């Protein structure tokens, strides 16, 4: 059997992710060797505290004989309902992505390096031109949507027509592998109804041509089709609120949606006409379970598969009825400064907010004031580590471990503030701005579990310790969906916020940090940043050493200008009941969702 190259709980593209965070100011920070300031024992001690992800298996162990059929319960671990935007073109939150994963899949197969390949069974094959500017995609025979309609080239082309449409209300247009398609700019501006660089050759074949070759094409090409017949006459500007992507949804994955209780649960049933073969399970039930109760639900056997909250992990914990799988996560947490707004008419960020946070020296001081090693050590038992750059270790080829980033050094933070002219003029314990005006910043953070409040308060306290007055926005934490709504809308009440990103599997950071990317929520605008981002996916970047040099410079640029403070890298854990068979986190295996089975009718308790 050909390797399928499927993913388990892994979003291929950009997504917001809900993270549980906790911290303590009780321990010192870390450092790189040869640096001065407040240190926490050096690199050697730091490594002893960090958990080795290889200690966790990536595939569940179950040698028992599988039974025919059966059903499993999957937890969407969250203390907030899923929003219910169940379409790859429009979704933004990780909870919706988890719902999508079970019934909708990419058209391509992927290898162990997360690049599209023809060497695995998939819904489509491709051929790339010698100049890397044109890709020809052929849909395989026998691939059907859940409504019985065949998957066609027009469906894949339609996904681009949705994202590029002038009335599109999503956030994905800024990706260069979409916006740089020949004719896309004119279509997006409403000057034409056709995208000249997308040619539907026949029912099964489509060609896409870009203006320039891009080295991210194999790891970052848009991989999702849209069911054009199913969407029918719904205008693209109205799709985001249509039942077609909220309750009456179709995909071509191994399971199809049978019933949705909005925000709460989804019942899936096996899709017998799945091109990869009929699934072994009869059904899957996904339901929202709070982080506070998930461990109890796992122990009782009420849940078969779930992400396991890192703040509930203990190094000597050995569950009896479920197994813990683990991997390095393609994600990071961060603290960002709101510096501007999104100009919808121009389609770009504008860094024009009137705030002292425009001063990079103030931002640097606030970065040195926080102790992320204390968070990792005291609340996550080594499953988290201080983040140094915005190119995460998941991208081994491009992450530069020699770039120091920021570490806990409150004395250095105070020195920076003193030299920059931030003084406590009135003697109240807090520094005024350079003109002697009071500074008070609102800090927004999500309510993602019982440790959310301590982490928010710890950051506030650390900033308080260097004389910067920061208060929790409206005196409380905020629900996931409303939090991101306010971030995206550039709520003027928010000065600083804590959030997280999954990066997808393409190292190109353009889609998060270019001024043309809606996901650039800080609204950071800088010419050098734009040039480095452009260089990173230019034709010259097909040369690996050139691209690595560019991304080294970009990582240092973001450290030097600090519009965002990366806070934590992490290992993520998954809990799987002992009755589950053929479940894996490995990429490039011959197991997909259709291969998951159970070895008993009832879960082990």
- The residue that leads in pLDDT, 21 or 379, is 379
Q: Are strands 348-350 and 341-343 parallel, antiparallel or unpaired?
A: antiparallel
Q: E-strand spans in 428-488?
A: 441-444, 470-472
The structure tokens listed for 122 are: 């998939």
Task: Summarize the confidence of residues 397-425 as an average pLDDT.
Answer: 97
- CB of 146 within 8 A of CB of 225? no
Strand-strand pairing, 580-581 and 597-598: antiparallel
Lowest mean pLDDT among 98-107, 164-173, 447-456: 447-456
Name residues whose C-beta falls within 8 Å of residue 437's C-beta, 6 or more positions apart in sequence.
none
Confidence of residue 589 (pLDDT cuts 50, 70, 90): low
- pLDDT band at 49; cut points 50, 70, 90: low
User: How many angstroms separate the CA atoms of 22 and 391, rounded?
Assistant: 23
The pLDDT score that the predictor gives to residue 324 is 95
Rounded to the nearest 5 degrees, what angle is found at the Cα of 316, between the Cα atoms of 314 and 319?
A: 85
The mean pLDDT of 575-587, rounded to a whole number, is 94
Residues 109-243: name the CATH superfamily.
Dipeptide-binding Protein; Domain 1 (3.90.76.10)
Backbone angles phi, psi at 385, to 5 degrees: -145, 155
Q: Give, in degrees to the nearest 5, the angle at Cα 263 between 259 and 265.
A: 40
pLDDT in tens, 194-218: 999 999 999 999 999 999 999 999 9
- Alpha-carbon distance of 321 to 329, in angstroms, equals 25
Residue 588: pLDDT band (50, 70, 90) is low
User: Between β-strands 283-289 and 15-16, what pairing exists: parallel, antiparallel or unpaired?
Assistant: unpaired
Evaluate whether 109 touches 592 at the Cβ level (below 8 Å): no
Using the 8-state DSSP alphabet, how is residue 125 labeled? E
CA dihedral 213, 118, 54, 76 (to 10 degrees): 90
| Topology (CATH level 3) of domain 333-572 | Dipeptide-binding Protein; domain 3 (3.10.105)
442-448-453-454 Cα dihedral, nearest 10 degrees? -120
In the chain, where the domains are located: 109-243, 333-572
Confidence label for 11 from pLDDT (cuts 50, 70 and 90): very low
Cα 353 to its chain centre, rounded Å, is 27
> Distance (Å, rounded) from C-alpha 519 to C-alpha 88?
15
pLDDT reported for residue 590 = 61
List of E strands, 69-108:
71-77
């Amino acid at each position: 059997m050909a390797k399928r190259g499927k993913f388990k709980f892994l979003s291929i593209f950009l997504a917001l992710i809900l993270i549980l965070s906790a911290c303590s100011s009780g321990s010192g920070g870390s450092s790189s060797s040869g640096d001065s300031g407040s240190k926490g024992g050096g690199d050697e001690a730091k490594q002893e505290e960090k958990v080795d992800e290889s200690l966790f298996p990536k595939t569940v162990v179950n040698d028992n004989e599988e039974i025919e059929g059966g059903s499993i319960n999957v937890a969407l671990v969250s203390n907030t309902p899923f929003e219910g935007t169940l379409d790859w073109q429009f979704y933004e939150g990780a909870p919706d992505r988890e719902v999508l994963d079970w019934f909708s899949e990419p058209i391509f197969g992927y290898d162990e390096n997360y690049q599209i390949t023809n060497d695995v069974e998939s819904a489509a094959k491709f051929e790339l031109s010698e100049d890397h500017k044109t890709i020809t995609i052929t849909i395989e025979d026998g691939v059907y949507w859940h409504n019985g309609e065949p998957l066609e080239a027009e469906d894949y082309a339609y996904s681009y027509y949705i994202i590029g449409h002038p009335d599109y209300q999503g956030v994905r247009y800024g990706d260069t592998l979409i916006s740089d398609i020949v004719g896309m700019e004119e279509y997006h501006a409403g000057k034409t109804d056709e995208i000249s660089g997308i040619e539907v050759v026949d029912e099964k074949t489509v060609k896409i041509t870009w203006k320039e070759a891009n080295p991210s094409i194999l790891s970052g090409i848009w991989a999702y089709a849209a069911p054009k017949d199913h969407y029918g006459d719904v205008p693209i500007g109205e799709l985001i609120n249509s039942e077609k992507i909220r309750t009456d949804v179709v995909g071509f994955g191994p399971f199809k949606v049978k019933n949705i209780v909005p925000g709460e649960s989804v019942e899936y049933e096996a899709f017998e006409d799945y091109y990869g073969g009929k699934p072994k399970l009869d059904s899957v039930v996904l339901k929202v379970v709070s982080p506070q109760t998930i461990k109890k639900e796992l122990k009782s056997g009420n849940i078969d598969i779930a992400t396991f909250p890192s703040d509930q992990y203990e190094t000597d914990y050995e569950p009896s009825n479920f197994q813990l799988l683990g991997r390095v996560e393609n994600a990071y947490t961060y603290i960002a400064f709101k510096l501007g707004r999104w100009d919808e008419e121009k389609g770009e960020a504008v860094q024009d907010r009137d705030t002292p946070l425009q001063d990079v020296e103030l931002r640097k001081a606030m970065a040195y004031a926080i102790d992320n090693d204390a968070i990792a050590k005291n609340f996550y038992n080594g499953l988290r580590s201080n983040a140094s750059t915005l190119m995460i270790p998941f991208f081994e080829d491009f992450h530069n471990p020699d770039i120091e980033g920021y570490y806990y050094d409150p004395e250095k933070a105070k020195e920076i503030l003193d030299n920059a002219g931030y003084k406590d003029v009135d003697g109240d314990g807090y520094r005024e701005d350079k003109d002697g005006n009071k500074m008070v910043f609102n800090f927004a953070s999500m309510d993602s579990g019982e440790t959310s409040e301590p982490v928010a308060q710890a950051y506030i306290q650390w900033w308080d310790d260097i004389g910067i007055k920061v208060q929790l926005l409206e005196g409380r934490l905020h629900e996931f969906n409303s939090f991101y709504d306010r971030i995206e809308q550039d709520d003027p009440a928010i000065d600083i916020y804590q959030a997280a990103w999954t990066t997808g599997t393409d190292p190109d950071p353009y889609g998060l940090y270019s001024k043309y990317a809606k996901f650039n929520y800080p609204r950071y605008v800088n010419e050098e940043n734009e040039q480095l981002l452009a260089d990173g996916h230019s034709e010259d970047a097909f040369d690996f050493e050139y691209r690595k040099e560019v991304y080294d410079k970009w990582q240092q640029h973001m450290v030097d200008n600090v519009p965002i403070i990366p806070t934590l890298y992490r290992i993520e854990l998954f809990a799987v009941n002992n009755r589950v068979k053929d479940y894996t986190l490995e990429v490039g295996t011959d197991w997909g969702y259709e291969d998951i089975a159970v070895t008993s009718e009832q879960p082990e308790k």
